[in-house]
Amino acid sequence: MMSTVARNKSRFGVANIILAISIGILIIVVAVPVLLIFINSFWVDGKFNVSDVLRILSEPETYEALLNSLFIAAGVTVMSTCIGTFFAWLVTRTDLPYKGFMKVMFLVPFMLPSFIGALAWKMLLSPRAGYINRFFMDNFGLEDALFNIYSYGGIMAVETMYLFPFVFIQVCGALERMDPTLEESARISGASLLTITRKITIPLVMPSIISGALLIMLYSMAHFGTVAVLGVENGIFNIPTLIYERIHQSGGSFEAIRTGTVLATVLVISAACIIWLQNRILNKGRFQIIAGKSFRPVEVKLRGLRKPLLVICLLYIAFTIVLPTATIFLVGGLRTYGLPMTMENLTMANYKFILFDWQLTQDAIRNSILLGLAAAVITMFAGVMISYVIVKMRVRGKGFLEFLGMLPFSVPGSVIALGVILAWSGKFGINLYNTVWIILVAYIARYMAFSLKANSAALEQVHDSLVEAARACGASMWQSLRDIVLPLVKPGMVAAFFLIFLPALRELTVSVMLYGPSTRTIGVAIYTLNEDGETVYSAALAGIALIIIVAGQTLIRRYTNTKK
């Protein structure tokens, strides 16, 4: 009897410790920075002040940036949704050749940083120096450039290339699970392929289409890199780039930070509305598309359209993936930007200089790797602990914990960065500004949701009876967690590690707001080198970043396949 009471007390004590630490981590890392955004926006000298907020929002630059954000996000969402849905239908429901290869290639943009893609298209389609424009002007006698990438259309096109996988992934999953008897019945009744697609297939997968589309809108509204590379030079700002410009140009003045917090509040409210709308559609717009038996979807015979559609897919892959990637590596190898891409003009000296001789880029690579490793390890273990509270413990308020953990995923990176600046620049006696630590704190907040998702899924598979059996045999709560739970959730922890480490390596939106003279990351170094006119070195560093990212993705796949 006494041993049972002791075990219960021990379990209660451990549970409370885990709960208290979990709450503390999320409040310090997530809740305080986000809360300070709202406080700084609406309170001045301890008084509620709406007039300043309205004044800032009514300024011409602010108003224009808001409209630009909405306009660009709307255009990217429409184009990405159409492209993603079309390619998802092709690779899942038709007899298109090489579908497996196509599916893998259409997911590649999901892994690559879009701001590096924007950098590549800037090299190809800038009005005067772009290689494609120069080719047409030199060979066809054109006085004006054929394309202008520094435009709304250019920004939308580049973002679409890298964001359409959000819809592609969701629609592929829905189409693969859909009961084909609905379409077969319509076909037997004499309906044409177009009628079946329009009246049956698309309505059934509409929740997945809309879910992916809203994710694209959320991401595009908060996106910094593409607009910074292609828009700012032509006076096109969205909300994140305007926040950066105001704070960067003023040296972090109070007025600039206040303007930034007001704009960040707009982003938070927009994100909340989009997520609310997404949940409402998914909850109320569910359709029964999965039958209670296994089945293989019937393939639509493309007949004479097989080869033309295959050519379209290959051209799209070549144009959106191969061409910009090859451009990055080739420009990175040029002796001087602007020279023709011939063998005598190419050299490996730029890559050697960046990796072994230039302190700036060496520091950037080292900072990114160390920050990525530190953020991944800390967030991985913190995520396991918080996930354990959410999944396994019966305590009040764990829903609030889950909300806090997932909040940074739905909040734009520029908001997280601004909140961290407000929280850790001396306000509470701790000043981390212009140090590597403030970037680390922001990364932990930014990627906590990734760790929670991966570890929660792993913990769901661990039955409570295993821990109860260990406790019945006399093991303490700590021993049960260490010897049973942690080994069983190790695959989820490893997945969480890579899900955090790789995005942290290529991160730009948060880092560009927080870096100091000696704390540049790879993303920041690529961006600032490009801004300073060091195009060749910027491209070379971008090429090295792509190699690191692809190598990391290969390791993830190998590890995942081995575990399966």
- Please indicate whether the domains covering 1-48+333-564 and 50-309 agree at the CATH topology level: yes
Mean pLDDT (whole number) for 190-215: 80
Mean pLDDT (whole number) for 506-512: 88
- Residues with Cβ within 8 Å of 234's Cβ and at least 6 positions away in sequence, in order, are 150, 151
- Residue whose pair of structure tokens reads 């509409």 in the numeric block: 206
- Residues with Cβ within 8 Å of 313's Cβ and at least 6 positions away in sequence, in order, are 87, 90, 96, 102
Please tell me the distance from the alpha carbon of residue 81 to that of residue 88, in angstroms, as a whole number: 10
Task: Give backbone dihedrals phi and psi of 94, rounded to 5 degrees, phi first.
Answer: -125, 175
Q: How many Å is the Cα radius of gyration of the chain?
A: 26
Whole-number percent of the chain with pLDDT over 90? 24
Report the 10 Å Cβ neighbour count for 155.
Answer: 28
> CATH for 50-309?
1.10.3720.10
Check: CB of residue 226 under 8 Å from CB of residue 80. Answer: no
Max CA-CA distance within the chain?
A: 95
- Residue whose pair of structure tokens reads 């602007």 in the numeric block: 338
| Average pLDDT of every residue of the chain | 82
Mean pLDDT (whole number) for 47-55: 78
Mean pLDDT (whole number) for 149-173: 91
Task: Give backbone dihedrals phi and psi of 179, rounded to 5 degrees, phi first.
Answer: -70, 115
Please tell me the distance from the alpha carbon of residue 504 to that of residue 370, in angstroms, as a whole number: 10
Query: Which of 282, 243, 250 minimizes the C-alpha distance to 264?
Result: 243
More confident residue, 149 or 42: 149
Please tell me the distance from the alpha carbon of residue 135 to that of residue 128, in angstroms, as a whole number: 10
Mean pLDDT (whole number) for 49-74: 86
Mean pLDDT (whole number) for 370-384: 90
More confident residue, 85 or 206: 85
Mean pLDDT (whole number) for 255-273: 80
Mean pLDDT (whole number) for 471-497: 77
| pLDDT value at residue 290 | 46
Q: Which two tokens stand for residue 135?
A: 């080719």
Mean pLDDT (whole number) for 548-553: 81
Q: Which two tokens stand for residue 165?
A: 């996988």
- Residues with Cβ within 8 Å of 174's Cβ and at least 6 positions away in sequence, in order, are 204, 205, 207, 208, 289
Mean pLDDT (whole number) for 202-224: 84
Mean pLDDT (whole number) for 393-403: 72
More confident residue, 183 or 264: 264
Is 45 strand, coil or helix? coil
- Residues with Cβ within 8 Å of 261's Cβ and at least 6 positions away in sequence, in order, are 37, 38, 40, 41, 418, 422
Beta bridge partners of 346: 334
pLDDT per position as a tens digit, 179-198: 677 777 877 877 777 787 77
- Residue whose pair of structure tokens reads 């942290």 in the numeric block: 504
Please tell me the distance from the alpha carbon of residue 267 to that of residue 121, in angstroms, as a whole number: 27
- Residue whose pair of structure tokens reads 């409210």 in the numeric block: 269
Query: What is the Cβ-side half-sphere exposure of residue 501, based on CA atoms within 13 angstroms?
Result: 22
Mean pLDDT (whole number) for 368-392: 87
Domain layout of the chain by residue ranges = 1-48+333-564, 50-309
According to the CATH classification, is domain 1-48+333-564 in 1.10.3720.10? yes
Please tell me the distance from the alpha carbon of residue 234 to that of residue 228, in angstroms, as a whole number: 10
Q: Which two tokens stand for residue 467?
A: 């821990």
